[in-house]
């Protein structure tokens, strides 16, 4: 994971900042947490701490709701996206394995045979 990705994952934002960035109420933000649509980290004292990725996710949820999706439909869309990402990752791993195998078969992987 790159440094930029790590910084986006850092859960340092309190709910008051997230409220300002998203235009959502504290109650809405906590509701989306309870529904499993976001999973903020907990700081000392059990306060929710949000990352920039959480803020992006909340804005995405708002867009879905504005488009007429229900919470259940949003979960379904998210589930399908996760499956697609896993499949793409699996496909990439398979392509890499096949490429390595072809290199071995074609003796391209070991230059000492030439």
Condensed to tens digits (0 to 9), the pLDDT of residues 51-91 reads: 999 999 999 999 999 999 999 999 998 888 888 888 888 87
* pLDDT higher than 60, residue 110: no
Q: Name the band, by pLDDT with cuts 50, 70 and 90, for residue 111.
A: low
pTM: 0.70
Predicted local confidence at residue 27, as pLDDT: 97
Cβ atoms of residues 19 and 29 within 8 Å: yes
Q: Is the pLDDT of residue 28 over 90?
A: yes
Q: Which two tokens stand for residue 4?
A: 């930029």
What are the tens digits of pLDDT across the range 14-26?
999 999 999 999 9
pLDDT of amino acid 108: 62
Bridge partner residues of 41 (DSSP): 49
pLDDT at 33 exceeding the cut of 80: yes
Contact residues for 86 (Cβ-Cβ < 8 A; gap 6+): none
**Residue 42: pLDDT over 60:** yes
SS (H, E, C) 41-100: EECHHHCEEECHHHHHHHHHHHHHHHCCCCHHHHHHHHHHHHHHHHHHHHHHHHHHHHHH
| Phi (first) and psi of residue 73, to 5 degrees | -70, -35
Kind plus residue range of the DSSP H or E element containing 30? helix 26-34
How far apart are the C-alpha atoms of 108 and 102, rounded to whole Å?
A: 8
């Amino acid at each position: 994971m790159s440094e930029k990705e790590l910084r986006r994952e850092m859960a340092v934002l309190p709910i008051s900042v997230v409220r300002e960035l998203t235009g959502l109420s504290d109650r809405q933000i906590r509701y989306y947490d309870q529904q499993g649509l976001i999973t903020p980290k907990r700081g000392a004292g059990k306060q929710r701490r949000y990352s920039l990725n959480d803020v992006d996710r909340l804005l995405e949820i708002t867009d879905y709701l504005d488009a007429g999706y229900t919470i259940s439909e949003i979960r379904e869309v998210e589930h399908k996206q996760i499956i697609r990402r896993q499949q793409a990752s699996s496909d990439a791993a398979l392509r890499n394995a096949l490429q390595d195998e072809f290199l071995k078969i074609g003796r391209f992987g070991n230059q000492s045979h030439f």
